[in-house]
Amino acid sequence: MLILSDLSLEQLKTVILEMGEKPFRAEQIFRGLSSGKRISEMTDISKELRAKLLSVYEDASVEIIEKKTSKIDGTIKYLFKLWDGNVVEGVLMKYKYGNTQCVSTQVGCRMGCAFCASGIDGLVRNLTPGEILGQITAVNAELGGTIDKREVTNVVLMGSGEPLDNYKNVISFIRNLSDKKGLNVTPRNLSLSTCGLVPKIYDLANEGLDVNLTISLHNPFDEGRKLLMPIANAYKISEILDACSYYFDKTGRRYIFEYSLVKGQNDGKNCADELIRLLKGRPCHVNLIRLNEVKEKKLSATSDKDAYKFAETLQKGGLSATVRRQMGVDIDGACGQLRRKYISGEKI
């Protein structure tokens, strides 16, 4: 089946003209989709047009099938069902300045990082642009938001999947998300997190999109990084840093390094010192994450005390570094945890 929200407004206009309708209908439908409406709910277009569209396209791109709200911090975890029965998850985090939604870009992932639950069964399939956008439009609508008064203000591509491994669809999604006739979320309010697919970082820099670039580093030594992230066999850290410099030159955007602290693997003084050596003077920030322990993996989290000590070493060494606040720990907040429970039939 096809998904209507995969189309840009321009493409939608072509489809609508081909169906013998007036072009302004395309804008109406685009607005409807961006506000999270199903095709069958678009009562501002004729029944005939709805029926025509429904003979070709899915009624909705994704459907919320589970919602869990954290009693600790109000973080909400969602499970979305796709037309083919696959599921992906997303998280909504509430901050003072607005709500940030973490969305998935693939069902599963083929990057195979040692600590991550998303890649345990490999890649199932890429999400289409409309399936990525649909997670946001569904949550925005579910929370009572509209296009003009959005409940979702910021977006991070940090759910399951590697966004740059689904490059074309992710770019189309960002363009549709930021369309002024749609949800109008500026790319500056979107962060794309990657394990470091170097050639694609250059491509992204050349798109002229100004999204915030986040790199999952997790170890400052190539050999140590390979133990956590298979992608380190393909690209050296020095190549990643060159790509980051290019990204900064092109966009003027400071970049962020994600660093998940794994006990005994990347939380030693030698790692902190090497991070300082590599990153000092660069327009970047280091985001330290306490490992979210995943049942299927045998890695342990660094203690809070050691995480703050690590951050202090980095700060004293001249880096901008913070320990990320942990959110949604009572609702399987980490990548892929809720989906795994769902597909294994465990109670969620």
Q: Which residues bind ligand SAH (CB under 6 A)?
A: 113, 115-116, 158, 162, 193-195, 216, 258, 260, 289, 291-292, 294, 334-335
Identify the burial level of 43 via C-beta atoms within 10 angstroms of its C-beta, where 0-12 means exposed, 13-18 middle and 19 or more buried: exposed
Residue (4 or 244) nearer to ligand SAH, CB: 244
Is 131 part of the annotated catalytic residue set?
Answer: no
Contacts of 145 (CB under 8 A, 6+ apart): 151, 152
Write down the least CB distance from residue 18 to ligand SAH, Å: 37
Side-chain half-sphere exposure of 153, counting CA atoms within 13 A: 8
Tell me how crowded residue 26 is: count the other CB atoms within 10 A of its CB. Answer: 22
Residue (154 or 216) nearer to ligand SAH, CB: 216
Q: Is 242 helix (H, G, I), strand (E, B) or coil?
A: helix
Residue (4 or 217) nearer to ligand SAH, CB: 217
Write down the least CB distance from residue 111 to ligand SAH, Å: 6
What amino acid occupies position 8? S
Of the candidates 21, 58, 89, 131, the residue annotated as catalytic is 89
Write down the least CB distance from residue 204 to ligand SAH, Å: 13
Interhelix angle 167-177/198-205, rounded to 10 degrees, is 30
CB burial of 270-288 (b: ≥16 within 10 Å; e: otherwise) equals ebbebbbebbeebebebbb
Write down the least CB distance from residue 313 to ligand SAH, Å: 20
Identify the burial level of 159 via C-beta atoms within 10 angstroms of its C-beta, where 0-12 means exposed, 13-18 middle and 19 or more buried: buried
Residue (31 or 225) nearer to ligand SAH, CB: 225
Contact 335, 118 (CB under 8 A): yes
**Can you tell me the distance from the alpha carbon of 99 to that of 215, in angstroms, rounded to the nearest whole number?**
22
Is 335 part of the annotated catalytic residue set?
Answer: yes
Write down the least CB distance from residue 262 to ligand SAH, Å: 8
Of the candidates 109, 195, 271, 335, the residue annotated as catalytic is 335
Residue (12 or 91) nearer to ligand SAH, CB: 91
Would you name the residues annotated as active-site residues? 89, 335
